[in-house]
Structure 1
Amino acid sequence: MNARSTPSRRPSREERDAIRRAQIVEAARECALRQGFHATPMSEVARVAGMSVGQIYRYFPSKDAIVLAIVNDIVERRIARMASHPDSPATPERLSSRAVEWDARHREDAILMFEISAEATRNPEIAQMVRQADQRSQLEARRKMMRRFPDLTEAQAAARCEAIAVLIEGTVARRMTQLQAPREEMLALYEKVIAAINGA
């Protein structure tokens, strides 16, 4: 005798709203990666999300609110990566080969943060979002650094994390240009720099 099939549970209102918000955020990411936030109208986000502009505004009051959701999503993913990856992407090998992202999503996040930072130069509210996001990421990075090197003061850990952030973000920006030095020379130099940051 066949067992009766159990009817699937209908998602709650909160679950449906969360799905819709995620759908909008993903559509905005896609648009921003293709043409930038500044050049993306809400009508384009709505089209990619398969919604009307009015529906978009039911979930987000403005484009800035969508940007904030994207930033928060990126920060949460960065913090999760810090917890799951024992090492930083700022190794001499990764830096010298300009491969400082773990995966395609990580690379997209880096591109979007550059795009958002550019928008921040025109929009004080987005500038504040960027500062708060960086503070959250750096706080988690300092905690990880101090767990790895318990003898560090908080100021020393903060300085090391700031230096690593500059190396990673600078490498992402420079990747759009051709490497102007032999990779083996860069590898040797980064080995010295990372050793100095680690206090070796």
Structure 2
Amino acid sequence: MGIAERACLEQTRNESRRQQVLAGATACFCRHGFHSASMAEIAKTAGMSVGHIYHYFENKEAIIVAIVEGNQAEVLAVMDRIEDSPGPLAQALVDTVSTGVDDCMNLTKTALMLEVLAEAARNPKVAAVVQASDAVLRARMREMLCKAAGPDQDPADPRLDERVETLFTLFQGISVRAIRHSSLDRDQTVRMMQAAIRWILQN
């Protein structure tokens, strides 16, 4: 095995270990909350020693940063798939609503992101990471909405920002409603969100 192959294998192992830590941390954060989840418990859940965890993450704050970055990559990948869909982009956005609603109604994901946001409200470093990630996602969505509006859309139109903010508010609100209203009707929510998005794209 050459040097390049060994380096690639080591990188793959390291990434696999990082994901193992993140999976363990996610389970602990959702079960006990950020501050109540100790590094020892995260290590036990991840199936490795505490010392091994510190090889990949300096502290719990660094784990949260990685969770935010992972969420950002996941959302950007979804946006890429929407943009690559055949047919009008506006219709592709509407067609993807059901998947988005399902994600927002996933209580495990919601619990994790609420822990992240709660820490961001207390911790300026985490807040900076969360806000920077949100800015990246808003810019990408703005780009997609501009493209979906057609060639006559002015890229500098401030209404694009209003649409992006409204869409983000709608979807993120579903996560909170899914907790507060345990019998929230998923199909009805999808229908109403699709209608709302059609209206937003046309105004």
TM-score, length basis structure 1: 0.77
Paired-residue identity, %: 29
Match among 5, 12, 25 for residue 9 of structure 2: 12
Residue 155 of structure 2 corresponds to 153
Stretch deviating more after TM superposition (147-156 or 110-119): 147-156
CA distance 1:152–1:61, shift in 2 (3 Å): same
Tell me how far apart the structure 1 counterparts of residues 15 and 96 of structure 2 sit (CA, whole Å).
34
Q: Residue 179 of structure 2 aligns with which residue? A: 176
Query: Deviation of residue 75 (structure 1)?
Result: 0.6
- Tell me the amino acid that sits aligned with residue 174 of structure 1: R
1:165 and 2:168 are equivalent in the alignment: yes
Query: 1:183 and 1:88, CA in 2 relative to 1: closer, same or farther beyond 3 A?
Result: closer
Structure 2: tracts of 5 or more residues without a match: 83-91
The reply to whether residue 30 of structure 1 matches residue 27 of structure 2 is yes
- Aligned-partner Cα distance in 2 for 1:43–1:179: 33
Root-mean-square deviation (CA), in Å?
3.3
SS in 2 for 1:61: coil
What's 1:4 paired with? Answer: none
2:35 aligned counterpart, secondary structure: coil
Once residues 195 and 136 of structure 1 are traced to their aligned partners in structure 2, the CA distance between those partners, rounded to angstroms, is: 23
**Corresponding residue for 2:123?**
123
Contact 2:28–2:42 (CA<8 Å) still a contact in 1? yes
1:72-110 per-residue CA deviation (whole Å, 9 max, x = no partner) reads 01110011111223325885xx5xxxx713598x76444
Aligned to 1:87: 93
Give the paired residue count: 186
Deviations 1:45-83 (A, max 9, x none): 110111111111111111111111111011100111112
Letter in 1 for 2:102: E
Classify the secondary structure of the residue corresponding to 1:121.
Answer: helix
Separation in structure 1 between the aligned mates of residue 197 and residue 43 of structure 2, nearest angstrom: 45
Indicate the structure with greater helix content. Answer: 2
For the pair shown, which has the larger CA radius of gyration, 1 or 2? Answer: 1
Q: What's the offset of the Cα at 1:196?
A: 3.6
> 1:6 maps to which residue?
none
Aligned to 2:49: 52
The aligned amino acid for 2:177 is: R
CA distance in 2, matches of 1:34, 1:89: 33
- Please give the alpha-carbon distance, in whole angstroms, between the structure 2 residues aligned to 1:33 and 1:27: 10
